[in-house]
Structure 1
């Protein structure tokens, strides 16, 4: 089963860089589960969890080795989805 890491951040230009990250983590996907579908679902869930923030947000997601440390920022090869 593939493992992915994700990072969700608000995309407002007037938000301080240190305060843009709203959520980060890893998830083991079920066999055949589409990472883009997971990202869309996670982004929607984040909108509910952080309903106080009504602005745009972006999720970056990428393959992640189980047990590897989670980086503070998304790597260059990360996929992105805005919502």
Structure 2
């Protein structure tokens, strides 16, 4: 099992990343679960949950130590997926 953090932001304006946050959190993935598949599913879920926003969005996701604070911006080692 691996803990991952994610941060979903809207990407269609020039506000700072921390001001564009739509969703953030952590999730424990099974040892055989692909983090990119998790990110894709979470991005799709965000699109349903925030259907009022029809613009582009990006998810940043990265390995996260259980119990560590969740930052307001993605760290340098984060993977990104646009959707």
State whether TM-score is above 0.5.
yes
Normalised-by-shorter TM-score class: over 0.9
How many angstroms does 1:78 deviate by?
0.3
- Stretches of structure 2 that go unaligned for 5 or more consecutive residues are none
Between the aligned partners of 2:69 and 2:43, the Cα distance in structure 1 is 22
Q: 1:1-83, aligned counterparts within 5 Å?
A: 1-14=1-14, 16-17=15-16, 19-83=19-83
In the superposition, the TM-score normalised over structure 1's length comes to 0.93
Structure 1 vs Structure 2 CA RMSD: 1.1
Give how far 1:29 is off.
0.3
Aligned residues: 82
| C-alpha separation in 1, matches of 2:55 and 2:19 | 14
* Structure 2 Cα separation of the partners of residues 51 and 31 of structure 1: 31
Which segments of structure 1 move beyond 3 Å, counting only runs of 4 or more?
16-19
Deviation at 1:79, TM superposition (A): 0.1
TM-score (norm 2): 0.93
Unmatched 5+ stretches in structure 1: none
The structural deviation recorded for 1:19 is 3.7
